[in-house]
Chain A
Amino acid sequence: MQHRAPVTNTRTARRDGRRTGGRLVVLLVLALVCEGELFAEELDAVLDSSGYAAEERVRIREIHDEARARGIPTTVLVDRIQEGIAKAVPAPRLVAALRDDVLRLETVRSLLDDAVAGERILADPASWERAATLLRAGWPAERLMQLAAICEPRPEAFRAASLLWIAIVDWGASQESAEELTSAAVESGIPDESFPRVASLLVDATRRRVPEPQAVRMIAEALRDGRSLRRIELLFAR
């Protein structure tokens, strides 16, 4: 049997909830500040051990700090700096590469700001960086927008969807096939980590000599019908 909570208790609980929520926000802000400080300290330590001249270290630091101030995720920049130092890349080249990265991340933001679900994709720094990597790899802006639109039902699947798309094209299928299969995978509700099995289905179909457009249609329809991957595999079994 369920008992109704007394009004006073409910109010107290709400007040406590607001307090708890407030504390959580404060803690989150503190955590972010601390993390920023930690990154800043780590970056200083990394730069100090780089062997670059003082003014070069300052220029690198400035690019990093400006990016952060403009709300651009900086983990990709820190990775680039560490990679540059490890490979003993001359400072001017590293600075140029960092500026390219910042420009690309800003381009992605301006592109995705206009895209369906773009805001939700940008909310995840890993997806944002992934989109920048795609542009760097030569993806046209229109295709990036297509992918963002495909991921509208599940923006968190952006990274896995982009990996699937690229794998299918690298394997030798057309951009249209990759788009259709990626779209069906996102819509199907299968977990992101199972996306590689969609590419395997295309391989199974090819082994059975099913023409690519027909194979893509079969797999996409079966995925959208909610059939399990195991059952779709049976489509191409003998």
Chain B
Amino acid sequence: MRATFVKTVTALALILCAAIPAAGYEPVVVIGVRATAGYGSAESTVPEYSYGPEIDVDLRMLPGERLYLAGWYAGSLMVDPPISVPRDESALGVLTGGSFGGLDVELQVGVAASSAMGDDRSTFAPDWSAHAVAPVGAKSTIAVSYSGRYHQTSVPTETHVQNGADVELRWDPSLSLGLAAGFGARATGFADRYAATDELRRDLAAELGCRAEGLVGYFSFWQTAAAATIVRSNDPQEDRSVYRADLHLSTDPTSALGLRATASATASRYLLRDALDAAGLPLGEAVRAVRAAGSVDAQMTVLPDLFLVGDLGAVYGWSNDASLSGWSAEGSLAVQLRL
């Protein structure tokens, strides 16, 4: 219901934007055809594939000196033999901000929704944030932010509300090297998931992280990040520590070609949750899991308004719990036309 409402609002905003070009920039409308194929250890013995048309509409407006409004809608009708699954996603966001005596402040509210007919996995997720950045010396800044979101899904046990705060110290000696380190805390409350004590489940997470990034020349970018998170819950089965490392590389050597690659590794260590073997029997030890993921994607401008897009991704998981072990790989190829 709410997802439908968001889509209606998005569609109205898009129509408004198209009808009154002076109010914003012309919406960017892209239509295309996409084919995807995937395979993994948990799938059937044959690769799964799907194909179908897609549409993507973006709008951006700068209605006032301090206001920024953006929205997008992405829809597809993937034919996943023998059934067809319409999926769509949409989002709307408003951002405002200004500088007050050297303090840069931003406030943002937004809402995102997605649905996929057939698998009953629609989501509705409003989010809000406040962000303040102050200079500390010539090339350093300190940022304090608060963010929250309500994530409602058609699976009631996954519906939750989350609120968090972060502090980050950033040092940018040059454009080719920026360093940041920070810490944050997040509280998550589930609407319909219960801990062993029959209380609604509540998680508290504390995170320590650092990041390095920079431009190489004018058109290449790199970023690497690492973070350690400790999660404590009123459901002791969810108590865990998580360590994560990420690498992101992108280069656009010409306007006709863009390449991106990402890699990440996540190690999780549960304190009390018992690992289960393939038959579902406890092994008598706590769950340990490592997940490695990587992806590459390429975008080519074949003609001024015609694009060829391809991506490949793979995930590999190792764990003493059989349900967390396995691998999967997926690739897609799309031809897109800008209208």
Give which listed residue, A199, A211, A235, contacts B60 with CB less than 8 A: A235
Is A200 a contact of B221 with CB atoms below 8 Å?
Answer: yes
A222 to chain B: closest residue by CB: B62
CB pairs A–B below 8 angstroms (13 shown) = A164-B218, A172-B256, A197-B215, A200-B221, A203-B219, A206-B252, A208-B28, A209-B30, A209-B338, A214-B25, A214-B26, A218-B62, A235-B60
- Knowing A218-B60, A228-B104, A231-B97 are in contact, say whether A209-B336 is a contact too (CB < 8 A): yes
- Which B residues touch A173, using CB under 8 A? 255
Place the interface of chain B in its size category: 35 or more
Provide the bound-state CA to CA distance between A16 and B104, in Å. 45
- Knowing A196-B215, A209-B30, A222-B62 are in contact, say whether A203-B258 is a contact too (CB < 8 A): yes
- Which B residues touch A167, using CB under 8 A? 217-219
- Knowing A199-B219, A207-B258, A212-B255 are in contact, say whether A235-B68 is a contact too (CB < 8 A): yes
B133 to chain A: closest residue by CB: A230
Provide the bound-state CA to CA distance between A203 and B221, in Å. 11
Instruction: Tell me whether A180 is interfacial, beta carbon within 8 Å.
Output: no
- Which A residues touch B217, using CB under 8 A? 167, 196
Is B219 a contact of A235 with CB atoms below 8 Å?
Answer: no
CB distance from A199 to the nearest CB of B (A): 4
0/1 interface trace, chain B 23-65, chain A, CB 8 Å (1 if under) = 0011010100000000000000000000000001010101001
Residues on A facing B (Cβ under 8 Å): 164, 167, 171-173, 193-194, 196-197, 199-200, 203, 206-212, 214, 217-218, 221-222, 225, 228, 231, 234-238
Is B175 a contact of A197 with CB atoms below 8 Å?
Answer: yes
CB distance from B174 to the nearest CB of A (A): 7
Is B338 a contact of A235 with CB atoms below 8 Å?
Answer: no
Provide the bound-state CA to CA distance between A197 and B254, in Å. 16
Residues on B facing A (Cβ under 8 Å): 25-26, 28, 30, 56, 58, 60, 62, 65, 68, 70, 72, 91, 95, 97, 104, 106, 174-175, 215, 217-219, 221, 252-256, 258, 299, 301, 305, 307, 336, 338
Is B307 a contact of A209 with CB atoms below 8 Å?
Answer: yes
Provide the bound-state CA to CA distance between A209 and B309, in Å. 12
- Which A residues touch B68, using CB under 8 A? 231, 234-235
- Knowing A203-B258, A214-B26 are in contact, say whether A193-B174 is a contact too (CB < 8 A): yes
- Which B residues touch A200, using CB under 8 A? 215, 218-219, 221
Is B95 a contact of A171 with CB atoms below 8 Å?
Answer: no
Is B255 a contact of A171 with CB atoms below 8 Å?
Answer: yes
Give which listed residue, A171, A194, A225, A235, contacts B252 with CB less than 8 A: A171
A237 to chain B: closest residue by CB: B70
Given contacts A164-B218, A171-B255, 8 further A-B contacts (CB under 8 A): A172-B256, A209-B28, A209-B307, A209-B338, A231-B68, A234-B68, A238-B58, A238-B72
Provide the bound-state CA to CA distance between A214 and B59, in Å. 12
Most buried by B among A200, A212, A218, A225: A200
Main SS at interface, chain A: helix
- Which A residues touch B97, using CB under 8 A? 231
- Which A residues touch B70, using CB under 8 A? 234-235, 237
CB distance from B102 to the nearest CB of A (A): 12
- Which A residues touch B221, using CB under 8 A? 200
B258 to chain A: closest residue by CB: A207
Give which listed residue, A214, A217, A234, contacts B95 with CB less than 8 A: A234
Is B25 a contact of A218 with CB atoms below 8 Å?
Answer: yes
Closest 9 CB pairs of A and B: A172-B255, A167-B218, A199-B218, A203-B252, A196-B218, A172-B254, A209-B30, A209-B28, A209-B338
Provide the bound-state CA to CA distance between A208 and B26, in Å. 13
Provide the bound-state CA to CA distance between A200 and B72, in Å. 22
Provide the bound-state CA to CA distance between A210 and B57, in Å. 11
CB distance from B286 to the nearest CB of A (A): 38
- Knowing A200-B218, A203-B219 are in contact, say whether A208-B175 is a contact too (CB < 8 A): no
